Amino acid sequence: MKSVHVRFDGIRQILFVIGRISWKRIIGCLLICPAILGAVFIGCGVHYIYFDRTNLPDLQAFDRFDLPAISHVYDVNGRPLIEMASEYRQMSRYEDIPPIVRNAILATEDKNFFSHNGIDYSVFARVVCKIKIMNLLGRFTRMGQRDAANSAAIFPQGGSTITQQLVRGYFLRTMTVQENSDQLRHSQGAAQALSYLIGARTVNMLFRKLEEIRLSLWVEEEMQTRFGSKRRAKEEILARYASFVYMGNGQYGFDRGAKYYFGRSLATFTVHDADKAALLSGTIKSARYFAPNASQTGRVVQRRNQILTLMAANDFISQEQAEKAMQRSIETVTLHTGKKAVMSAIVENVFKELKNHRPDFNENDLMQGHVQVYSTVNAHMQEISDMALEHGLLLYEKRHPEAAGIIQGSVVVLKNCDASILAETGGRQSYKGRSSTGSDFNRVTNSQRQPGSTMKPIVYLAAFREGIFNLDSMAPDVPISVTDGEEQNTKWISDYDGTFRGNISFRRALAESRNTVAIWIAKQIGISCIIKTARNLGIQSQLHSYVATALGASEMNLLELANAYRAIASGTLAQPYMVRKISLDSGDIIVESDHASSPVDVDSAALSLIQEGLRGVVRMPGGTAHSLDNRDFPFAVMGKTGTTNEFRDALFIGSTYGTEGITIAVRIGFDDNRSLGVKETGGRVALPVFKEIMINAYGENLAGPAPKFPVEMEQRINLHMKDRFAKTNGLPPGQLHRMISY
């Protein structure tokens, strides 16, 4: 009991002492403790900002300003063909930024930029006044809780200098992205204590802001040391800022923004473009809401006019100039709205060839702007090929409206002398309602389809190599059977017209694309001879050893098929290529291709026979490409149509003569391999595309003058047609030739 009384007396004494302390002293203690705690936090913050220079980022990269830039693929004439980038950015030097644009930026974002050292202390009072006190008090009453009130913003946006904005975007991007979270991103004890009082989200923002201020002061100090004066350092920082900011629609930097929205280089802006400078500067705040847009002018105009008012208030422009600029309507260019389809086939080839030359390089190197590619593609030829395919598909869709938007095609144009790719179209510009992209399927190289009758010239060439056949050799055009594939099913061969000609010359059988004759030849010489000839012409795809391969039963891609025809036309063997040169952003050349060709491993006599035979496909009445032999098509070409089983694919491949010519291959069909429809042959579907490309290519002198075929070759075709006409009309052979004077 005694011990209980002692404890009770002790408690009474403590209460007595507390009672003697006035309530004013208690309140004073309650105020002093947080003040002391706050002073400690402030002291630590000041030391961290102004004196702590540990754990700094690499300024070398900032000095070089290593940012994702734009890789270009240039055409054969040095014209930019494709831009590839993760961020479409144009770097600007300070002297390339016109004064009117600089002033618009300063008026909008940081009017004291050239006088402060990275932090504008004059705005602190304005920022403090905007602190949301009620939200802060709400935090104190809900300490430790996670609810809407505890996540509400306390500190206002804005007040950051240009240097701070640049530091935030360049060095603190990850930190900034993560700060808008109720999860505390910092493990320090001070951070955890503060998060209990004011919430994790606000603490994340405060710590990011402290780091932002610290780095801004450090960057300005270092830049001043590097460039020798505060003015030069400021100019460099402003140039980096103008190159860094997002301008909307995938464009970064003021110069890209000027070209995208106004179709002009930033360097062309003068004081008379104050309205445009204000529009671009207004975009910085939020590209989503304030990017120049002729269809959403309300808030955009209001933002522009606010900036013009600020420019006048800071004496960057006169009041009269500001008022005139405010009266102008927003006029943006429409060039980007009609943006050409991405050339996916070219992009794919560039990636593939880049990887072949430098296995350590990847797509990211292109997307980061580290590589510039100089290609063999002719930009105008590419445009012609793209449009010709679109026109050809449109003609087909008019006959088959149900196929609109889903019929597909591909085109490749090769230079005969070295197999350089002048144009490559891997598909239509809009497929199933979606515009094409750089990652789209390339049907020139990736689509393995049957070549149909375009395989027949290889069959005839193999026969000519045997030395026992020529164009005047006769073959039976009669019913004939083949073993169909590995299942050994017997199939009877017929022709498109359902008739048989009896004995027929090789020349006429090739021109009319007689299936039975091609099978007869294959049986005479053996399929192995045909496969060997295909290999000699550069075809690498697997070719089946059954006879139906003579009619195109083995699949291959359009590029290797086109290259085989190119080899026939030129007598040279070469691998198709697109990349001439690759340079790094440092200027170093890592690839400079020299694609030499070699003579094709086919004797010249056999090669001349197949060239003449393919010329006859165009020249001879009844030839599947005879529609090209007219005044509307004044170019001498050779080629072959192709139509696969059940009209699934329509092809035409044709060339002008010799090493100075070009080869064009066209294939049209559905991706799901459905039928194009009865009578939708290569001559009807694919030939018009070939014709349009050839007319424009030579009509606009993109491939030089169209080469002529050897005179003796043309004369032999003339003589054959005259003798055939004489025979048809009951005249002795050679009689018509003697009757006509030349």
Q: What is the mean pLDDT of residues 264-276?
A: 94
| Sequence-ordered list of residues with C-beta below 8 angstroms from that of 589, at least 6 positions apart, any chain | 581, 582, 583
Q: Over the stretch 289-315, which tens digit does the pLDDT of each residue have? A: 899 875 667 889 999 999 999 999 999
Beta bridge partners of 493: 480
181 vs 579, residue with greater confidence: 579
pLDDT of residue 194: 64
Q: Do domains 64-86+340-445+558-597+626-704 and 245-337 have the same CATH topology?
A: no
What ranges do the domains of the chain cover?
2-50, 64-86+340-445+558-597+626-704, 117-228, 245-337, 450-556, 710-742
284 vs 59, residue with greater confidence: 284
pTM exceeding the 0.85 threshold for the entire prediction: no
Nearest to 381 by CA among 336, 437, 421: 421
In the structure, what pLDDT confidence band is assigned to residue 326 with cuts at 50, 70 and 90? very high
64-86+340-445+558-597+626-704 belongs to CATH 3.40.710.10: yes
pLDDT of residue 174: 80
pLDDT of residue 361: 73
| Sequence-ordered list of residues with C-beta below 8 angstroms from that of 631, at least 6 positions apart, any chain | none
**Whether pLDDT at 150 is above 50:** no
Provide the token pair at 483.
């073993």
Q: What is the mean pLDDT of residues 22-47?
A: 62
pLDDT of residue 739: 39
245-337 belongs to CATH 3.10.105.10: no
pLDDT of residue 344: 72
Residue 707 carries which DSSP code?
P
Task: Measure the CA–CA gap between 201 and 214, rounded to whole angstroms.
Answer: 20
Among 63-67, 149-153, 207-211, 621-625, the least confident range: 149-153
Q: What is the mean pLDDT of residues 265-275?
A: 94
- Can you give the three-state secondary structure of 379-391, one letter per residue? HHHHHHHHHHHHH
Exposed, middle or buried by CB within 10 Å (0-12, 13-18, 19+), for 285?
A: middle
pLDDT of residue 643: 95
pLDDT of residue 693: 98
Residue 206 is inside which H or E element, if any? Answer: helix 200-227
Q: What is the mean pLDDT of residues 237-241?
A: 94
pLDDT of residue 8: 53
Distance of CA 531 to the CA centre of its chain: 37
pLDDT of residue 341: 45
**Whether pLDDT at 606 is above 90:** yes
Strand 246-248 versus strand 88-89 pairing type: unpaired
Q: Over the stretch 682-711, which tens digit does the pLDDT of each residue have? A: 999 999 999 999 999 999 999 999 999 999
pLDDT of residue 336: 47
CATH class of 450-556: alpha beta
For all residues of the chain together, what is the average pLDDT?
84
Q: Over the stretch 417-463, which tens digit does the pLDDT of each residue have? A: 999 999 999 999 888 887 776 667 899 999 999 999 999 999 999 99
pLDDT of residue 504: 96
